[in-house]
Amino acid sequence: MIIAVSDIHLGTESSNRSDFLSFLNSCDKEAIDHLVLLGDIMDFWRRNNAGVVAEKKNGEILDKIARLNAGKVHYVIGNHDYSLLKFSERYGDVYPFGITKSLRLEENGQPYYFIHGYELEVLETLEPASVDLYETFSENMCYAGDVVGSVAGAVWCIKEGCEKILESTTKFLKKPPGERKNIGNLYNLAISPGAYIFLGMKPDEYLVYGHTHRPYTSKTHKRANTGAWVRDNSLPDSCINTYVKISDKEVSLRKFDPGAFP
């Protein structure tokens, strides 16, 4: 069984931290082969990274993740926690869980491809800016900190293309996920049968991603979105505290209930 979850945004006031800790406690009691943390688990944008981790509840959650009894924990990096990639590269095998930009797993003969999903936003909204450029932008946003306190501060070392990213990302961040008009376009790109040529996936793989805070599953298109764990009045309650369960080739979207997990 594979469980995938994303977009907890620990470090923000809107994060449902207590619910997510309860989710992790439930994971500890089940026979899970793979737990996939699909990015933006932490939110370091315009925050001091150490300060976010030092917050008691956040530290408890990270410690819980490192000690989980789940078969294997995978951390696929998101745009808001992109700086963790450098730490995992620095400490290698000593790091408590692997951190990558993408992940491939197989369950009962069906291959799955996991990404956070910011790649879709770059391709649909920020072209001709590249995914590489956006990743540089995201990393700098993680180091902007409270001192800089603005999106502009994150692009100090980016040259070509930074103006477009700055303009588009600023507009994007000003609106809650439920009011972001380009979300539908990201969905259309994700379900396109030709999307694999942009995403590094194989044609027969089932794509699982997050980022948009809009959970869904589509058996027809072999696509699933994990949703988010944040309080957001612009989204229906059904979109909050969701995760994707993969078992016996069935991909299902679930809303967390401690009494009915997994």
The 10s digit of each residue's pLDDT in 67-113 is: 998 789 999 999 999 999 988 888 888 888 889 999 999 999 999 99
Tokens coding 23? 């989710």
pTM above 0.85, yes or no: yes
> What is the H or E stretch that residue 188 is in?
helix 183-191
Give phi and psi for 37, each to the nearest 5: -90, 110
CB 73 within 8 A of CB 97: yes
Distances (CA, A) of 202 to 12, 47, 197, 243: 35, 36, 8, 23
Amino acid 95: pLDDT? 85
DSSP annotation of 179 reads: G
Contact in structure between 253 and 244 (CB atoms under 8 Å): yes
Sequential DSSP letters for 44-59 = -TTS-HHHHHHSHHHH
Confidence grade of residue 149 (pLDDT, cut at 50, 70, 90)? very low
DSSP 8-class letter at 78: -
| DSSP structural state of residue 249 | T
Residue from 162, 161, 182 nearest 171 by CA: 182
Dihedral angle, C-alpha 197, 200, 205, 210, nearest 10 °: -110
pLDDT of residue 179: 63
Q: Residue 41: which of 5, 66, 71 has the closest Cα?
A: 5
DSSP β-bridge partners for residue 254: 243
Beta bridge partners of 253: 244
The full DSSP string for 171-224 is HHHTS-GGG-TTHHHHHHHHH-TTTHHHHT--TTPEEEE-SSS--EEETTTTEE
> What tokens were used for 31?
């026979």
CB 229 within 8 A of CB 19: yes
pLDDT single digits (tens) 228-255: 999 888 788 888 999 999 999 899 999 9
Q: Which CATH superfamily is domain 2-255 in?
A: Metallo-dependent phosphatases (3.60.21.10)
Structure-block tokens of residue 95: 């790091």
Question: Domains of the chain: which residue ranges?
Answer: 2-255
Query: What's the pLDDT band for 34 if we cut at 50, 70, 90?
Result: very high
Q: With pLDDT > 70 as the criterion, what percentage of the chain qualifies? A: 84
182 neighbors 213 (Cβ within 8 angstroms)? no
